[in-house]
Structure 1
Amino acid sequence: MDMRRIVAVLAEEAEQQIQDGVWEVAPGDRTLAREAEAGLRDAVGPPDTQETLKQIERLEHLRETLAVLAIALARTHGRLAWFLSGAINALEPVLRWRALPAGHGGTFGTVLPTPEEYTQAEEAVRRLQDVLARITTE
């Protein structure tokens, strides 16, 4: 399953839990979700902006999203933490990506992603941005 699909499933579950009243988003969670959403939006912009960047910059931005999510995760518990954990897990392949050629020696298991994989990851981040924005308004 690709990152976009994993994030879509997470989003559907979060929205359903909120709609059903299973997940009552606390004010502190709204604030944290708002901060995380802003951090993701700062890291990964619109497609026309991202696609003009060099691959190394796109990778830096995607890694930054993982940092934003990890910091938010460290600051919460319960359903928001579970959602953020799922988001980090969905974006986990980014951790194995590299933008530089290997040269001589090993690469510690990293791989060169395709342009399509960058786009897929960026679209997944944008979907996370949207879900976090909706969480802040619930």
Structure 2
Amino acid sequence: MDMRRSIAVLAEEAEHQIQGQVWEVSSGDCALAREAEAGLRDVVGPPDVQEALPQIKRLEHLRETLAVMAVALARTHGRMAWFLSGALNALEPVLHWRALPADRGGTFGTVLASPEQYTQAEDAVRRLQDVLAQINRVSPGAG
């Protein structure tokens, strides 16, 4: 499953759980979602902006996305943690990418990603931004 699809599946599950009152979004969930969404928007911008960047900068931005998500995950528990963990897992392929040629020696298992893979990952992050914004808009405890 590609990253876009993985994040879409997570988004659907989150929306279903919130609407079905399985996930009762707390004020802490809202605040964390707001912070994470802002952090993600700071590092991954609109498609035209991202695609104009050199691949090394695009990879840097995607790695920063993982850092934002990891910090958010470290600060929560329950369904929000499960959601963030799923998002990190979906974006995990980014950890295996490199933007520099290998020249000599090993690459520690990293691979050069294609421009399409960068676009796919950035689209997944944008979808994640949207879901976090939706979570932030839920009235705490209203589910």
Output the CA distance in 2 between the equivalents of 1:40 and 1:12.
19
Equivalent residue number for residue 73 of structure 2: 73
Output the CA distance in 1 between the equivalents of 2:47 and 2:75.
30
Equivalent residue number for residue 30 of structure 1: 30
**In the TM superposition, what are the counterparts of 1:12-91 in structure 2 within 5 Å?**
12-91=12-91
Amino acid at match of 2:74: A
Amino acid at match of 2:69: L
Aligned-residue CA RMSD (Å) = 0.3
Matched residue of 1:91: which SS?
helix
Number of residue pairs aligned between Structure 1 and Structure 2: 138
Equivalent residue number for residue 131 of structure 2: 131
**In the TM superposition, what are the counterparts of 1:104-115 in structure 2 within 5 Å?**
104-115=104-115
Deviations 1:92-124 (A, max 9, x none): 000000000001000000000000000000000
TM-score (norm 2): 0.96
TM-score (norm 1): 1.00
Amino acid at match of 1:118: Y
Structure 2 residue runs without a partner (length 5+): 139-143
* Cα distance, 1:57 vs structure 2: 0.1
* Cα distance, 1:79 vs structure 2: 0.2
Output the CA distance in 2 between the equivalents of 1:51 and 1:11.
24
